[in-house]
Amino acid sequence: MVDPSNLAQLHEWDGGRGGHWARQADRFDQALAAHNKRLIDATESCGSGPALDIGCGAGRTTQDLAVKHSKVLGVDLSGEMLRVARMRTRKAGVHRASFLQADAQIHPFEPRSFDLAVSRYGTLFFGDPLAGFRNIATALRPGAKLAVLSWQPFEFNEWMSTLHSIFSGGSPLPESRDGPGELHHPVQTRRLLWESDFDEVTCEELRENVFFGHNVEEAEVFAIGQFRSLLRNLGLDDRKKVAIELRENIREHESEVGINYGSASWLITATKR
């Protein structure tokens, strides 16, 4: 069952986009390794009770939580990504993680059954964020913790703004949405979570790099996988220019530790009332 406001997300994540993320699961985990560590570190004081991973994708965060927590449920719209998540957890010998294909915005979780809820950039896809966070709050016990990562607007994320400009042939950036689900602004975020039955809301700015690859060729493949759709509106000559500009830009980001682009996120934590 999916809320009507999330039907487009279901089509995208249980379709082509989800399939791409599933095939590139290891690469995406490498790209966001620093972000993932900061998210897991933010849950260290949460004990070892049951945990919920919202928008778990291929299960990296779910596995990390299962090291400590008695059980972890990962929820996602993408059947293909969940297939990879189950395969990876079996291979890793992780027995305290389970997965469910469901819309976390409306799924009838057992009330007061989790001590922790986390999301690595998953909650920003809620079609109705107030309904989504209220539903998550219902699944949490009083005093339970919420820890969420959310991107800041495009213009503060080098990896988004730079590569979008290259792949679109220099077109302007999409206008950043300021809806409550984007969690762009701390004041707005605190209001949303307060209305969703959370207290003690904190918004910590994260400036971690997104890792694109160990070398130029690897980074090029990863970038194309992310931004290929922008090429649809370009002719052959413009696509050739994109290929040249992309390689030049990647070389500018090359270092001894690989290819990295800057990013800006919010690490948001709160306590269930």
pLDDT of residue 186: 92
pLDDT of residue 175: 65
Note the pLDDT tens digit of each residue in 233-249: 889 999 999 999 999 99
pTM higher than 0.85? yes
| Position 230 in a domain | no
**Which range is least confidently modeled, 14-23, 44-53, 94-103?**
14-23
Q: Three-class SS of residue 149? A: strand
| Position 249 in a domain | no
| pLDDT more than 90, % of the chain | 78
pLDDT of residue 6: 75
Confidence band for 24, pLDDT divided at 50, 70 and 90: confident
| Position 223 in a domain | no
pLDDT of residue 9: 74
- The overall average pLDDT reported for the chain is 92
Other CB atoms within 10 A of residue 232 CB: 6
pLDDT of residue 125: 86
- pLDDT (average), residues 221-244: 90
CATH number at residue 185: 3.40.50.150
Other CB atoms within 10 A of residue 4 CB: 9
State both tokens at 266. 């919010």
Q: Three-class SS of residue 9? A: helix
Number of domains in the chain: 1
| Position 236 in a domain | no
| Position 265 in a domain | yes
Note the pLDDT tens digit of each residue in 50-85: 999 999 999 999 999 999 999 999 999 999 999 999
| Position 188 in a domain | yes
Confidence band for 123, pLDDT divided at 50, 70 and 90: very high
pLDDT of residue 106: 95
Residue 49 belongs to domain spanning? 4-153+175-212+260-272
d(CA 266, CA 151): 6
Torsion angle, alpha carbons of 86, 92, 93, 96, to 10 = -60
Q: Parallel, antiparallel, or unpaired for β 72-76 and 51-54?
A: parallel
Alpha-carbon distance values, 229 to 43, 191, 234, 257 (Å):
36, 35, 10, 29
| Position 115 in a domain | yes
Torsion angle, alpha carbons of 52, 58, 60, 63, to 10 = 60
pLDDT of residue 21: 78
| Position 245 in a domain | no
Cα atoms in the Cβ-side hemisphere of radius 13 Å centred on 34: 14
pLDDT of residue 180: 44
Q: Three-class SS of residue 34? A: helix
Question: Is the predicted pLDDT of residue 179 greater than 50, yes or no?
Answer: no
